[in-house]
Amino acid sequence: MSIQDIQNIFCIGRNYAQHAKELGNEIPKSPILFTKPTGALTLADGQTLTYPSGQGEIHHELEIVLKVGKKTDSQSVNDRVVEMALGIDLTLRDLQSELKKKGHPWERAKGFRHSAILTPFWSFPGMEAIEQTSFSLQKNGETIQEGTSSEMLFNFQRVIDECEQAFGLSEGDIIYTGTPEGVGPIAQDDFFSLYWGKEEKGRFYVSF
């Protein structure tokens, strides 16, 4: 699947308790939803990605990404989700903090070019199988984020139900499901690798 086939990008905020705590945020009682424009999409295929300078820190957020298939009578996550990937939700953190203080939407801090990074998709093995596998992010050869979907506050089924109710889900939509703790800034010449278990699924370099 190419990124040109993706219809909508839905994202879940603060879906890991330790991530919410590391940013000083309250742990939500229901899923926090936001979106990114499809123009933010890019591939973790070994390329060098260029980012805006002079706008404060840009933080990496490693996430499991779900791809929605054709609509069925069943709303089960195992019927609605056909593929999965790993992704990075990048955030202009200083700008996001300013927008939050003003009560403004987050999109300017979330939707910039190359802020929605994706590995290639692979077949979705089912929710139970995924909970047994960790996913991680390495920066310059050092693991900086790691987690499992079992740590989520709101599991895949709750995420699917919430997005369906709020937006309606269509074939080709993708969902970034939240990030574990360990988020932090990217810097010039950083090299990132995304791992599912011990298998590298994608990589990219950073430039400003």
Per-residue pLDDT of the chain (208 residues; tens, 9 = 90+): 567 789 999 999 999 887 767 777 788 899 999 999 999 999 999 999 999 888 899 999 999 999 999 887 888 999 999 999 999 999 999 988 898 889 998 889 999 999 999 999 999 999 888 998 999 999 999 999 999 999 999 999 999 999 999 999 999 999 999 999 999 999 999 999 999 999 999 999 999 9
Residue with tokens 């990217």: 186
For the chain, domain boundaries? 3-207
Buried b (16+ CB within 10 A) or exposed e, 121-138: beebeebeebeeebbbbb
Do the beta carbons of residue 114 and residue 49 sit within 8 Å? yes
Beta strands across the sheet bearing 58-60:
91-92, 58-60, 184-185
d(CA 101, CA 105): 10
- Residue 174 backbone phi and psi in degrees, to 5: -125, 155
d(CA 197, CA 148): 10
Q: Does domain 3-207 have CATH number 3.90.850.10?
A: yes
